[in-house]
Amino acid sequence: MKIDDLLNHMWKTYTSLNPHIKEVLDLIKSKENTEILNDHIALRTFNHERINKNRLADFFLGSGYKFVENLHFDQKRLDASYYIHPNNKLPRIFISELRIQDFSTEFQNKINDIVDGIDKNKFNSPLFLTNGTPWEKISYLDYKMVQKESDYAAWVLSHGYIANHFTVSVTDCTFFKNLQQINLFLKQNGFEINSSGGEIKGSPKIGLEQSSIMAKKISVAFSDGIYDIPGCYYEFAFRYNGFDGFITSSANHIFESTNEKKA
């Protein structure tokens, strides 16, 4: 599968499950006369050997992406890697994984039991990254149990393998000159901005500023019923002086865009 086709499939799944994302994009397009470029796409997983970040990265490495850097988020008990393609029109890929071993025994057993039951054939196609949960539907009771220790884990178990977020490159916008403008515009149109660590994370001095809307709740089918839980969110990035990477202290706060208590 060509990388453009995979990224398009990822976008279609992301927006079809989260209609508010398309609303945001349409609002931005109503002001912008240029193409809206995507800074990066983020995926989430666990550090289980069957589905860790390296396994997910294989789909992109086979399409010309190159590994750049490993990042560590001790507060969130996460690790991440990001990848860049020689074609700078293609977005960066940011893949994070939760350190299962850093949680309670009950938590570890629950995650491992679920992941161990995955049919290995589901990994054969890159569309694995657009197909949601490769495991049997979990119960809402299990969702809440896991969520007590990690909102991130609860999100992965309930949504599986879809893009957690896409990111508007505000650097390349013409109408919006900075994140303050785009944040204000979206708030005026009814969207909540993630305020953890301030509405804008980072600074021009360190080369990157980021903001995001909070994920809106969407209906998800569990084994014991349908419940409304946080879905995906949209991020906004402004880069300075050619900085290509990510700032861990900022990402720590961006991760909270899907937290239940803030949704």
Smallest Cα–Cα separation from 131: which of 142, 141, 118?
118
Smallest Cα–Cα separation from 14: which of 24, 23, 22, 3?
22
Give the Cα separation of 235 and 120 in Å (integer).
32
| Token pair belonging to 259 | 């937290």
User: What integer pLDDT is reported at residue 1 of this predicted model?
Assistant: 85
Answer whether 222's CB lies under 8 Å from 246's CB: no
pTM of the predicted model, to two decimals?
Answer: 0.95
Helix axes 151-159 and 140-147, enclosed angle (nearest 10): 150
Give the Cα separation of 256 and 249 in Å (integer).
12
- pLDDT tens string 198-256: 999 999 999 999 999 999 999 999 999 999 999 999 999 999 999 999 999 999 899 99
User: What integer pLDDT is reported at residue 36 of this predicted model?
Assistant: 96
User: What integer pLDDT is reported at residue 263 of this predicted model?
Assistant: 42
Each of the 263 residues of the chain gets a pLDDT tens digit; together they read: 899 999 999 999 999 999 999 999 999 999 999 999 999 999 999 999 999 999 999 999 999 999 999 999 999 999 999 999 999 999 999 999 999 999 999 999 999 999 998 988 888 889 999 999 999 999 999 999 999 999 999 999 999 999 999 999 999 999 999 999 999 999 999 999 999 999 999 999 999 999 999 999 999 999 999 999 999 999 999 999 999 999 999 998 999 999 986 44
CATH number of the CATH domain containing 80 = 3.10.180.50
CA R_g for the chain? 18
- CA distances to 3, 118, 124 from 121, in Å: 21, 9, 6
Residue 83 lies in domain: 3-262
Q: Looking only at Cα atoms, what is the longest distance across the chain?
A: 53
- CA distances to 96, 138, 204, 219 from 229, in Å: 21, 14, 34, 7
For the chain, the domain total comes to 1
The beta-carbon contacts of 8-12 under 8 Å, at least 24 apart in sequence, are: 9/127, 9/129, 9/130, 10/41, 10/129, 10/130, 10/162, 10/163, 11/163, 11/166, 12/130
Answer whether 11's CB lies under 8 Å from 121's CB: no
User: Could you tell me the end-to-end alpha-carbon distance of the chain, in angstroms, rounded to an integer?
Assistant: 35
| Token pair belonging to 186 | 């979206």
Smallest Cα–Cα separation from 255: which of 151, 129, 154, 149?
151
